[in-house]
């Protein structure tokens, strides 16, 4: 049964969120959620559980969980401190600005396909930094559950079986086809998936620490395979890789504190800038899901993504104008340019700052422990299963994160994003990311952890879940399940998920929007945990097969 709410058709049998008293984990794969909960029950803190979940996902969620990729960890401690660990992949030393252009100067698929598409992995180093500074359990104990899952195997779900079978990039690599597709025989739901090569790699990481991955046997085998296959990553690249601790971005919206990811994430600045444009606009008065509300949020998105195309990149390789992008006067100018009754063509929206004077595929999970510490982690291989290549003898997939650079500034990448000179390829540089782990506070205490996979659609999805909770009073489950929209400036198209009423779609078209409401369209998959009335409330997106669990 469907009932109409605003311009959305909403199920009358909406799912209830998971509620627990003490601690909670929310992930996009259930077995990894159970691993995290057990670490918390055994006395580990939120950082410990986040590390264990990350290693477990490398086994049970090969679509995005990884050893061969990178990501971000946002931590907000119960005492009010916060930090951000950047373990984003880096370009190898042999990388060059025009390495993915053909003879006519046009981008090729080499940034997505083959050994040359991989950036230097950061996940293991990032988890080690988090553990060394903020963990409380033994490193080997946090890697142990992943080893068990790889050695003993786990039952293949229907969703995983279908995903592995249909993955084109896995079928093109002999090692990946052997491990993940049984050489074309394929896994059936209920089969046990055992990964002995990955188990041995994890054993070495557990016993020898992070240097195993970056200088030991694992590093040697990875570098040798790269040299043999024409890849770029060398032993020196691995040895020189460092995770970086950065200060989070902070702001406020309607009485809530926002703790957000700094660059090279483009998500935190996007959340703060878009919330700034919405603040004081009264956009929510027209009602959730109304054409007027959708239009205003879409116009805010359009303006942010235009700015993203030019002003953001790796902060270690150029001065970023974050202060200017969050200047209330600038945000007001952007807000004032919105016509609430008519779409503004993207050709009329340009990156808006004056001349400079100042300074997937992916997965997300959240952890909140009994002390009130909160961790939000988004990490990735870029596309699903990365570049589809499994390192022989090591059992893990490689990323194709080099496509997140601007192979040709001004030309779109795999997600259709236009990117500028600040994100051009340079050796040692981290590509700009859409990953958006975000934490909200209320009255100085933890209120919400949220994030998502989904490429360029991550930022808009996280924004809408925050709005659903803060402005429209939804619980965690309703907030992540509600139909979403997306506009990223270029292409000039408004994407609408199923569930939006035909009348609303017709009204949006009459206001000048080029609307894509294709059946089955999915705009990211969000995980959220909310603290409410002494309970933790978990919402795991119904578009995926994840799980929120705790005690």
Catalytic residues: 362
Q: How many CB atoms lie within 10 A of CB 258?
A: 20
Instruction: Write out the two tokens for 102.
Output: 């053909």
Torsion of CA 384, 386, 389, 394, to 10 degrees: -100
User: Residue 169: CA atoms inside 13 Å, Cβ hemisphere, count?
Assistant: 23
User: Residue 285: CA atoms inside 13 Å, Cβ hemisphere, count?
Assistant: 7
Contact 484, 461 (CB under 8 A): yes
Q: Is 152 exposed, middle or buried (0-12, 13-18, 19+ CB in 10 A)?
A: exposed
Q: Is 54 exposed, middle or buried (0-12, 13-18, 19+ CB in 10 A)?
A: buried
Instruction: Write out the two tokens for 92.
Output: 């190898």
The set of residues, in sequence order, having a beta carbon less than 8 Å from that of 159 and lying 6+ positions away, is 545
DSSP strand pairing (24-27 vs 547-550): antiparallel
Contact 17, 538 (CB under 8 A): yes
Q: Is 95 exposed, middle or buried (0-12, 13-18, 19+ CB in 10 A)?
A: buried
CA 75 to chain centre: 15
CA 342 to chain centre: 31
H/E run at residue 504: helix 502-510
Q: Is 410 exposed, middle or buried (0-12, 13-18, 19+ CB in 10 A)?
A: exposed
Q: Is 161 exposed, middle or buried (0-12, 13-18, 19+ CB in 10 A)?
A: middle
Instruction: Write out the two tokens for 58.
Output: 């490398």
CA distance 134 to 260: 19
With tokens 């016509």, the residue in question is 339
Say whether the peptide bond before residue 377 is cis (omega within 30 degrees of 0).
Answer: no
CA distance 419 to 372: 38
Instruction: Write out the two tokens for 274.
Output: 């878009």
What are 390's strand-pairing partners?
A: 397
Q: How many CB atoms lie within 10 A of CB 244?
A: 17
CA distance 508 to 114: 42
With tokens 């997965």, the residue in question is 363
Beta strand segments in 470-520, E: 485-486, 494-496, 515-516
With tokens 């229907």, the residue in question is 158
CA distance 319 to 249: 16
- Cα distances from 198 to residues 135, 141, 408, 516, in angstroms, run 24, 17, 36, 41
């Amino acid at each position: 049964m469907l009932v109409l709410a605003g311009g959305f058709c909403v199920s009358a049998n909406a799912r209830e969120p998971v509620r627990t008293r003490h601690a909670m984990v929310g992930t996009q794969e259930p077995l990894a959620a159970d691993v995290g909960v057990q670490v918390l029950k055994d006395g580990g803190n939120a950082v410990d559980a986040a590390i264990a979940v990350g290693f477990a996902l490398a086994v049970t969620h090969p679509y995005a969980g990884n050893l061969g990729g990178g990501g971000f960890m946002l931590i907000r401690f119960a005492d009010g401190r916060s930090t951000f660990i950047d373990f984003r992949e880096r370009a190898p030393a042999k990388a060059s600005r025009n390495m993915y252009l053909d003879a006519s100067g046009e981008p090729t698929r080499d940034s997505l396909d083959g050994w040359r598409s991989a950036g230097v992995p950061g996940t293991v180093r990032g988890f080690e930094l988090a553990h060394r500074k903020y963990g409380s359990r033994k490193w080997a104990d946090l890697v142990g559950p992943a080893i068990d899952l790889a050695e003993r195997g786990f039952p293949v779900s229907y969703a995983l079986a279908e995903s592995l079978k249909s993955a084109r990039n896995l079928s093109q690599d002999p090692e990946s086809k052997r491990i993940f597709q049984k050489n074309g025989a394929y896994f059936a739901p209920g089969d046990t998936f055992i990964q002995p090569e990955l188990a041995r790699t994890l054993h070495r990481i557990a016993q020898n620490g992070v240097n195993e991955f970056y200088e030991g046997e694992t590093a040697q085998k990875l570098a040798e395979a790269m040299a043999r296959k024409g890849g770029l990553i060398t032993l020196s690249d691995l040895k020189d890789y460092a995770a970086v601790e950065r200060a989070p971005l902070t702001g406020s919206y309607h009485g809530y504190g926002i703790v957000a990811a700094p660059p090279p994430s483009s998500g935190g600045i996007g959340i703060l800038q878009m919330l700034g444009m919405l603040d004081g606009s009264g956009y929510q008065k027209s009602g959730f899901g109304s054409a007027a509300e959708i239009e205003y949020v879409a116009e805010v998105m359009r303006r942010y993504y235009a700015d993203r195309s030019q002003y953001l990149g790796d902060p270690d390789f150029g001065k970023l104008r974050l202060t200017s992008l969050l200047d209330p006067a600038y945000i007001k100018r952007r807000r004032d340019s919105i016509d609430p009754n008519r779409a503004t063509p993207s050709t009329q929206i340009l990156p808006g700052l004056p001349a400079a004077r100042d300074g997937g595929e992916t997965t997300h999970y959240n952890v909140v422990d009994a002390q009130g510490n909160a961790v939000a982690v988004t990490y990735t291989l870029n596309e699903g299963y990365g570049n589809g290549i499994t390192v022989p003898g090591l059992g893990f997939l490689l990323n194709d994160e080099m496509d997140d650079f601007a192979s040709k500034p001004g030309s779109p990448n795999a997600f259709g994003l236009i990117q500028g000179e600040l994100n051009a390829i340079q050796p040692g540089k981290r590509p700009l990311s859409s990953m958006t782990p975000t934490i909200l506070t209320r009255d100085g205490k933890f209120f919400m952890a949220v994030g998502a996979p989904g490429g360029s659609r991550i930022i808009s999805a996280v924004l809408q879940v925050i709005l659903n909770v803060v402005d429209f009073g939804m619980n965690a489950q309703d907030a992540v399940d509600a139909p979403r929209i997306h506009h990223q400036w270029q292409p000039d198209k408004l994407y609408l998920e199923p569930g939006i009423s035909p009348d609303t779609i017709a009204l949006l078209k009459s206001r000048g929007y080029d609307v894509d409401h294709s059946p089955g369209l999915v705009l990211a998959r969000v995980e959220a945990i909310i603290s409410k009335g002494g309970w933790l409330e978990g919402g795991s997106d119904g578009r995926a097969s994840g799980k929120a669990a705790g005690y």
